[in-house]
Amino acid sequence: MGLTVKLRIITAMLLCFMAVAAQHLKTFTATYGPFNSSYYDIFRFENSATINNGAIQLTPYKPYQRGPMTRPLGDQYGRVRLNQPFKLWEQGYNKTSDRVASFNSSFLFSLCPLGGNS
């Protein structure tokens, strides 16, 4: 049996083992939006971030807007975090058995010029 055939057999066996192991993983799947006031319980909004017109707004439209963020518009920013923690890795008994999760996230942004004209 040639080296190429042996490598193909080993690769096929490894893929089978990985498929069996993947069946035991816990998954976390979520889709968010359009946004309303109920999302204030799901996410932690920081600094200038808020919900406006069904979307998360990270910066205000006008300078010196809203409460403690009384800074020029160029100095304002927002951050939104998920309130629910989740595990990205599972520690085993040794470093070789630690498992790191794979995740995918995507975002849709709307960028507006100063003055709010799109």
Domain ranges in the chain are: 31-64+76-103
What does the block give as tokens for 44? 């932690």
What whole-number distance in Å separates Cα of residue 92 and Cα of residue 87? 13
What's the pLDDT score for residue 106? 81
What does the block give as tokens for 26? 């816990």
What whole-number distance in Å separates Cα of residue 73 and Cα of residue 114? 9
The pLDDT tens digits for 1-40 are 677 767 777 777 776 666 666 666 666 778 888 999 999 9
What's the pLDDT score for residue 48? 85
pLDDT > 90 in the chain, percent:
14
- Number of Cβ within a 10 Å radius of residue 71: 13
Torsion over CA: 60, 66, 72, 76 (sign): negative
Higher pLDDT, 61 or 65: 61
What's the pLDDT score for residue 44? 94
The pLDDT tens digits for 85-102 are 877 776 665 666 666 777
What's the pLDDT score for residue 117? 55
Higher pLDDT, 91 or 78: 78
What is the value of pTM for the model shown? 0.57
- Number of Cβ within a 10 Å radius of residue 47: 16
